[in-house]
Amino acid sequence: MRLQRRLHQGFAALLALFTAFLVVQFGVGARLRDDHDRRFARIGDARDANRLALQRMTDAETGVRGYQLTGERLFLSPYDSGRGAALVALDRAATLSHDPQARALLHAERQAADDWLGQYAVPTAGGPAAGRPSAALGKQLFDRLRAVNSAADDAIAAEQHAERVTARRTERLLGLASGVLVVAVLAAGYLLVRVSRRQLLVPLARVGDTIRRQAAGDRSARAEPDGAAELRTVIEALNDLGAQTERLLADEQARAARAWLRQAVAGELQQEGADPAVVAYRVVARIAGALGADAVYGALPVPGAGQVTAHWPETAAELDPAVAGDLLAGPAGEQVAGRPGGGLAVTLGADGECPRGYLLVVRESVPQWAESERRLLAGVAREIERVLRQHGIRAQQDLLISELRMLDQRKDVFIQTVTHELRTPLTSILGYAEMLAEADDGELTPMQRRSVQAVLRNAHRLHDTIGDLLLLDRPGCGAESTEPLDVAELATSVHTELCTAAQAKALTVTFEAEPAWVHGDRTQLQRALRKLMENAIKFTPPGGSVTWRCGMQEQTVTVAVTDTGIGIPAADVPGLFTPFHRAGNAMDQAVQGPGLGLAIVRDIVRDHGGGIAVQSAVGRGSTFTVTLPAVPAPVPVPAN
């Protein structure tokens, strides 16, 4: 790990030097420059305040002399404003200046200003004319103020110059330190690159050459372990990878051989109409070629043909029945070596009515079996079991399909027979019942008339049920004669027909329809809408409400029928559109009906390319939504 440690140290030193350069150049340097700029600005402000004080004192002195000469108090206005500003400026200058000499001169200047004000300006501006000091005294005091102000200005200027000299010296030191750090960074980088090239890049180039040789197909290419410990570790790992790659390629070739053999055996077994004996012979022949066997014996449990035996070559002696019996009695899928002649055997499992089978590979020249050869034989055995199992499943499926077709035919015959045998006597019952119902009032008693009405009502129910059975039994329920139809017009017609039935139960019916065009069979679509509405009325208790809406979106027409009826249990929703299916709560409440209406609606809607969905909650009601493909409204043909 010496090279790694040296590289880490070199990078750490390089990073530390570069960080130090950044700190010196942009950290310390920037802070020192900011400090210098602040001090220089502060000294400049002190100098400006000192000059401003002299200017304001001059304004005050001019005002006092004007008042002394003229006696007009108007001249005292500059004096009143100037003396306060001058004293404030002097105090500010003394605060901003840090030079002892300048501060002393500023204090002396403040004293001179106080003397001029106290001995001359104040008595002149406020005292009587007889007691005013002379102008010569005022001039003498103000001249002393000017002299002290000039000396203070020179002292502040000297302080400013000293700060400038200090800043230039600091800048030179910062530049020197930055230069030294830059040279150190460059030197460290050069040393790091040199060490990396000599101890890392050149050996890695040799490793790369070895990798390129291996990539070009030279699987035996190996690199000599050389150089630093880290590189020796890399080279050893590369050599191990090369060896492992060789092993993996060999394993992959073996897997490819196994896959090819399994596919070939599966192809032989899946040939339709082939002689099972010929197929079995081809299978054992392919196994013999893949394993280099002297002889191969096989017994394949072929569905429908029983156990088919074969051996390769054809000149090989027949297998001893005792050996075959031992193989058939062994555990399915278990390999057994050491059979006569150096054989390797595997027993095939049995499924259903298929008997057991086996594969026995005999090889006297090389009696030891490699692990790859064992896996090859086991994989072929599993593939044979899979294909034969699929044959058995397919045969069972064909048998079930034939039985289902027979049952469907019997169902059709049953329905046709039942409906035919029921419709003939039912027609007579309806005819005579209608004759009795239309008789004069004096011919039947009230009890007899109610009985006749009950017979007539139930006969009509039975007639409708027979019609529904015939409709479901047809290969296709709808779209016999199609045309552009306005679903809103059909819904309005159905609504008008069933309005009386809804009023009889005191139901509140809300109907909303807008033009919505589809292509379909008028009779069948009207039947579907009628059955949806009849169900909503039938399953809604008196006093409830039924709402149905018809509208058109971009590409679909939607009809939604919502009721506040008994609802549908969640467990009954999946079978809701199955013929004869009735919800549990409907049977509990003895709601009449054969359970055919929704199945008919589903078939009609499906035959028109649409779909139907339901949302329901027990005790709260249901919503059935029918969607159909929309078509453009037909363009009216102008009359000639």
CATH number, domain with residue 276 = 3.30.450.40
Beta strands in 390-503 (DSSP E): 482-486
Residue 553 covered by a domain: yes
**Lowest-pLDDT range, 331-340, 498-507, 530-539?**
331-340
Average pLDDT over residues 70-98: 83
pLDDT band (50, 70, 90) for residue 2: low
* C-alpha separations of 578 from 583, 599, 602 in Å: 11, 6, 9
Angle at 120 between CA 118 and CA 122, to 5 degrees: 60
CATH value at residue 78:
1.20.120.1730
Bridge-based pairing state of the strands 545-552 and 508-513: parallel
Kindly report, residue by residue over 350-389, the tens digit of the pLDDT. 555 556 787 888 887 776 777 777 787 777 777 777 777 7
For residue 79, tell me if it sits in a domain. Answer: yes
Rounded average pLDDT over 258-269: 71
Tell me if 457 is assigned to some domain: no
* Whether pLDDT at 548 is above 70: yes
Please give the helix or strand (H or E) that residue 2 lies within, else none. Answer: helix 2-22
283 pLDDT exceeds 60?
A: yes
pLDDT of residue 230: 67
Pairing of strands 295-302, 343-348: unpaired
Q: Are residues 278 and 181 part of one domain?
A: no
Q: Residue 10 to residues 180, 187, 188, 194, 204: CA-CA distances in angstroms?
A: 18, 11, 7, 11, 19
Last residue of a domain, one of 351, 371, 398: 398
Could you tell me which residue, 373 or 55, shows the higher pLDDT? Answer: 55
Domain membership of residue 16 (yes or no) is yes
456 pLDDT more than 80: no
What is the pLDDT, as a whole number, of residue 139?
Answer: 86
488 and 606 assigned to the same domain? yes
pLDDT given for residue 561 in this prediction: 92
**Per-range mean pLDDT, top range of 22-36, 211-225, 322-336, 410-424:** 22-36
Q: Rounded to whole angstroms, how far apart are CA atoms 312 and 296? A: 5
Pair (490, 381) in one structural domain: no
Q: How many domains does the chain have?
A: 3
Answer yes or no: is pLDDT of 103 > 80. Answer: yes
- Read off the pLDDT of each residue in 225-233 and give the average, rounded to a whole number: 69
Residue 72 binned pLDDT confidence (cut-offs 50, 70, 90): confident
590 by DSSP, 3-state: which? coil
Higher per-residue pLDDT: 5 or 100: 100
The pLDDT value given to residue 136 = 83
Mean pLDDT of 120-137: 74
**Model pLDDT, residue 592:** 62
Within this chain, do residues 307 and 178 fall inside the same structural domain, yes or no?
no
- The one-letter amino acid code at 241 reads L
Question: 573 with 616: CB under 8 angstroms?
Answer: yes
Query: Which pLDDT belongs to residue 478?
Result: 45
Q: Give residue 131's pLDDT band: very low, low, confident or very high (50, 70, 90).
A: low
Token couple for 15: 């990073």
Q: What's the CA angle centered on 374, arms 371 and 376, to 5 degrees? A: 110
The reply to whether 392 and 489 lie within a common domain is no
Residues 40 and 161 in one domain: yes
| pLDDT level of residue 57 (50, 70, 90 thresholds) | confident
Answer yes or no: is 232 within a domain: no
39 and 167 housed in the same domain: yes
182/275 same-domain check? no
Query: Phi/psi of residue 517, each to 5°?
Result: -100, 135
Q: Taking the C-alpha atoms of 508, 514, 515 and 521 in order, what is their torsion angle to the nearest 10 degrees? A: -30
| Unique residue bearing structure tokens 């034939």 | 402
Q: Is 521 in contact with 482 (CB distance < 8 Å)? A: yes
In this predicted structure, the answer to whether residue 470 has a pLDDT above a threshold of 70 is no
pLDDT band at 518 (very low <50, low <70, confident <90, very high): very high
Residues with Cβ within 8 Å of residue 521, at least 6 apart in sequence: 478, 479, 480, 481, 482, 608
The owner of tokens 């501060």 is 103
For residue 410, the model assigns a pLDDT of 67
* 359-370 as b/e: b if 16+ CB within 10 A: bbbbbeeeeebe
The predicted structure's pLDDT at residue 319: 79
Whether 510 contacts 491, CB under 8 Å = no
Region for residue 355 given its phi and psi (left: phi exceeds 0; alpha: psi -120 to 50; beta: otherwise): beta
Q: Where are the alpha helices (DSSP H) in 197-314?
A: 202-215, 229-269, 276-291
Q: Name the residue with higher pLDDT: 639 or 300.
A: 300
pLDDT, mean of residues 49-70: 85
Phi, psi of 624 (to 5 degrees): -105, 130
The boundaries of the domain holding residue 615 are: 479-629
Residue 494, domain CATH: 3.30.565.10
Residue 327 has pLDDT above 90, yes or no: no
Peptide bond between residue 313 and the one before it cis (omega within 30 degrees of 0): yes
pLDDT band of 635, cuts 50, 70, 90:
confident
Contact of 518 with 545, CB cutoff 8 Å = no
**374 Cβ neighbours under 8 A, 6+ residues apart:** 335, 344
Residues 181 and 80 in one domain: yes
**Could you tell me if residue 459 is inside a domain?**
no
d(Cα 592, Cα 584) in Å, to the nearest integer? 13
β-partners of residue 612 are 626
Which of 398, 428, 456 is where one domain is finished?
398
- pLDDT confidence of 432, banded at 50, 70, 90? low
> For residue 283, is it within any domain?
yes
With bands split at pLDDT 50, 70 and 90, how would you rate the model's confidence at 300?
confident
Q: Is the pLDDT score of 513 beyond 80?
A: yes
Query: Do 34 and 179 share a domain, yes or no?
Result: yes
What is the distance, to the nearest Å, from the Cα of residue 177 to the centroid of all Cα atoms in its chain? 56
Reported as a pLDDT band with limits 50, 70 and 90, residue 258 is low
pTM over 0.85: no
The confidence score (pLDDT) of residue 477 equals 45
Helices (H) and strands (E) in the chain, counts: 16, 12
Residue 322 inside a domain? The answer is: yes
Task: With H, G, I as helix, E, B as strand and everything else as coil, classify residue 486.
Answer: strand
> What does each C-alpha distance from 618 to 159, 540, 594 come to in angstroms?
98, 12, 21
**Same domain? 181 vs 286:** no
Of 191, 221, 256, the last residue of a domain is 191
Tokens of 448: 């007899």
Q: What is the pLDDT of residue 354?
A: 57
pLDDT of 7: 65
Range in 19-23, 300-304, 317-321, 339-343 with the lowest mean pLDDT: 339-343
Sign of CA pseudo-dihedral 181, 187, 188, 189: positive
Q: Are residues 54 and 174 in the same domain?
A: yes
Name the average pLDDT for the chain: 78
